């Protein structure tokens, strides 16, 4: 699992790889990453939780990495944001791996 310090660098590296692989997918991944940040802000707002930008940013990068790995065909699934956030809150991971899956 990536540490919080490394998620920004990992996300940036994967987005670079995606630009060289299928550039049109990079925009979709960036959109999913932004939606994940917004989802957490909405979740915090709806639940009356204090607004914690660090939590939303950290999850956004973790979900962005998850989506980038899917777009790069290194994993065979992409969780929806709500399930991924639930899992991330419970485990600190969106359950992504960087190895290409065996077919």
Domain membership flag for residue 98:
no
The pLDDT assigned to 97 comes to: 44
pTM of the model: 0.82
Considering its fold, how many domains does the chain have in total? 1
Domain membership flag for residue 59:
yes
Q: Which domain holds residue 84?
A: 4-91
Q: Identify the segments of the chain with pLDDT beneath 50.
A: 1-2, 96-103
- Tokens representing 19 are 């630009």
The pLDDT assigned to 3 comes to: 52
Rounded to a whole number of angstroms, the CA Rg of the chain reads: 13
Q: What are 6-10's contacts with CB under 8 Å, separation 24+?
A: 7/58, 7/61, 7/62, 7/65, 8/61, 10/61, 10/65
Domain membership flag for residue 86:
yes
């Amino acid at each position: 699992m990536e540490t919080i310090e490394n998620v920004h660098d990992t996300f940036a590296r994967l987005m670079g790889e995606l630009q060289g692989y299928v550039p049109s997918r990079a925009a979709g991944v960036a959109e999913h990453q932004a939606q994940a940040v917004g989802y957490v802000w909405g979740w915090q707002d709806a639940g009356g939780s204090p607004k914690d930008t660090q939590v939303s940013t950290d999850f956004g990068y973790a979900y962005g990495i998850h989506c980038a790995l899917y777009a790069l065909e290194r994993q065979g699934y992409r969780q929806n944001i709500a399930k991924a956030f639930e899992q991330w809150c419970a485990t600190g991971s969106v359950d992504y791996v960087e190895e290409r899956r065996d077919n």
